[in-house]
Chains A and B, each alone.
Chain A
Amino acid sequence: MQRLSLAGLAVLLHVLWADRREIIGPRLRDGAITLGILHRLEDLPVGWSDTAQEAAQYRVVPRADSARFGHVTGPLSWKRWLFLPEEVLFRAVRDDQDGGFTLSATPTAPLRAFLGVRGCDLAAIAIQDRIFAHDPAYCARREATLIIAINCLEPGGTCFCASMETGPQARGAFDLRLTEWLDAGTPSYLVESGSAAGRKLLARLPIEACTPEDQARVEQALAQAATRMGRQLDTGGLAERLAARPGHRHWQQVAARCLSCANCTLVCPTCFCSTIEDRTDLSGTTAERVRRWDSCFDLEHSYIVGGNVRADPAARYRQWLLHKLAYWHTQFGTSGCTGCGRCITWCPVGIDLTVEAAAVAGSEA
């Protein structure tokens, strides 16, 4: 572990820019911590916090210090840059001579760096890596992306990464991992590399040595953060219990509140459902196939010839929760939830995944 001063952080950004990487990171916009392109160090949300999140409640408030990463997760997640909200999968041109067609697929994969990826979101990226393991465009973008993770020392009100074992320490596929440390309100950054690319990058930065005490303090702070989660979820036997209870009355009780608005699936960093649309120009000579984010809360999502399977909102909510917390294990060998808490915060009626899952898991019927 080494240390980077605030000025050192600026150097990190400049090095990335010099490598022609676009840096995506947290920014304050429209009263929320969102993710966007950073053009200068000051684009980071200096002295802002959004940790006081609750079901259907989100506010940014000024901090007493000048922390750059003193917030948690806002409505956007990184999937927006890897699994695009809308993407052309191929273009096709009709061949006049023989009635056939020619296809072209040119996935674009700009060089990027993600700055400030938290444990929950790093786990979410790892999950989507498995889902899209064969998707050429996803893989190309993923390979062109450098990940600079950040450890969470101040969990938010809807966070439960400790329950899902994805945080507060960022673990897994990062290139660099930062811990923001405040001394008298001024931040510096403890930094570790997690890959060869990370080590090379680190070698170009003005790093300072860091003491065993620094290291111990970080570990202690992380351990404390794990005890201050706003939410928790008992995952022991959860998947089995949920899957065994498709007829539980609680599904109808949630459905009475659920608006089927799909906010939860849009803010979720692992939700991957998409719809595919084919279209042509007016002359019918060129066509394209577009993939767009879809949601299991959309009635059409469960279309089969003759009707929609999940006509009832209760069936749609059940599909979402069972998929996320139960079926995902069978499909991808992991939970589909990383405990980021976004679905709780951004549900307009305050439906709380941790509460609903516990209600179904907690009683037989």
Chain B
Amino acid sequence: MVEIAGLDRMLLEHPFFAGMAPEQAAFVAGCGRNVVVEAGAWLFREGEAADQFYLLRHGRVTLELRAPGREPLIFDTLGEGDIVGWSWLLPPFCWSMDARAQTLVRVVALDAHCLRDKLDSDPALGYALLRRFVPVMGRRLQAARLQLADLYARPQGGRG
């Protein structure tokens, strides 16, 4: 009981859940546990079942893509106050990239089966959570588009 009470406070202190109704936070916290990940360890790997949703409380996580014969490409880093992963929301619930702890990382891990059941059973909660998710996804999509533009690439055919 003590741990759960601690967890819903942690949820409300995290920017992603900030301002949420306390009873909703307590309901969601029932799916959570505190996890510490050592620097260099994986949170998840591409292709694995996406059965966790992570709230990053401390440390930094890299998102990576693997390619044969090359070092993994880091295309994003997430830090304190960020969330990690949304594949648990989208069928087939399978991670599409690797996530690794760049430093010692403390997260609240919410069990995806538990959370999906609760969101399905409480559409108001489901909607409230999605409203928090969409802006995060939007910002990351925007950032990915900017990366795609390769802004600082060396221009070709300069005359000066």
Do these two chains interact? yes
- Interface SS of chain A: loop
Whether the Cβ atoms of A306 and B156 lie closer than 8 Å is: yes
A43 to B21, CA, bound (A): 94
Enumerate A297-327 residues with CB–CB distance to B below 8 Å. 303, 305-306
Considering the complex, give the chain B residue whose CB is closest to the CB of A303: B159
Judge whether B92 is part of the interface by a CB distance below 8 angstroms.
no
Whether the Cβ atoms of B159 and A306 lie closer than 8 Å is: no
How many B residues face the partner with a CB closer than 8 A? 6
Considering the complex, give the chain A residue whose CB is closest to the CB of B156: A306
Judge whether B160 is part of the interface by a CB distance below 8 angstroms.
yes
* B 29-43 binary contact with A (CB < 8 Å = 1; else 0): 000000000000000
Judge whether B155 is part of the interface by a CB distance below 8 angstroms.
yes
A305 to B155, CA, bound (A): 7
A106 to B102, CA, bound (A): 66
Q: Which chain A positions have C-beta within 8 A of B155?
A: 305-306
Judge whether B138 is part of the interface by a CB distance below 8 angstroms.
no
Judge whether B68 is part of the interface by a CB distance below 8 angstroms.
no
* B 125-160 binary contact with A (CB < 8 Å = 1; else 0): 000000000000000000000000000000111111
Interface size for chain A: under 10, 10 to 19, 20 to 34, or 35 or more residues? under 10
Question: In the complex, how many residue pairs between chain A and chain B have their CB atoms under 8 Å apart?
Answer: 9
Q: Which chain A positions have C-beta within 8 A of B157?
A: 306
Q: Which chain A positions have C-beta within 8 A of B160?
A: 305
Considering the complex, give the chain A residue whose CB is closest to the CB of B158: A305
Considering the complex, give the chain B residue whose CB is closest to the CB of A300: B159
* A 255-276 binary contact with B (CB < 8 Å = 1; else 0): 0000000000000000000000
Q: Which chain B positions have C-beta within 8 A of A306?
A: 155-158
Q: How far is the CB of B115 from chain A (nearest CB, A)?
A: 47
Q: How far is the CB of B51 from chain A (nearest CB, A)?
A: 46
A147 to B154, CA, bound (A): 52
Q: How far is the CB of A241 from chain B (nearest CB, A)?
A: 34
Q: How far is the CB of B156 from chain A (nearest CB, A)?
A: 7
Q: Which chain B positions have C-beta within 8 A of A303?
A: 159
Q: How far is the CB of A354 from chain B (nearest CB, A)?
A: 37
A303 to B157, CA, bound (A): 11
A306 to B157, CA, bound (A): 7
Q: Which chain A positions have C-beta within 8 A of B159?
A: 303, 305
Q: How far is the CB of B159 from chain A (nearest CB, A)?
A: 7
* B 62-92 binary contact with A (CB < 8 Å = 1; else 0): 0000000000000000000000000000000
Q: How far is the CB of B153 from chain A (nearest CB, A)?
A: 9
Q: How far is the CB of A349 from chain B (nearest CB, A)?
A: 31
A306 to B155, CA, bound (A): 5
Q: Which chain A positions have C-beta within 8 A of B156?
A: 306
Q: How far is the CB of A315 from chain B (nearest CB, A)?
A: 20
Q: How far is the CB of B157 from chain A (nearest CB, A)?
A: 8
- Chain A residues in the interface with B (C-beta under 8 A): 303, 305-306
Closest CB pairs A-B (n = 5): A306-B155, A305-B158, A305-B155, A303-B159, A305-B160
List 6 interface pairs A-B (beta carbons < 8 Å), by A numbering: A303-B159, A305-B158, A305-B160, A306-B155, A306-B156, A306-B157
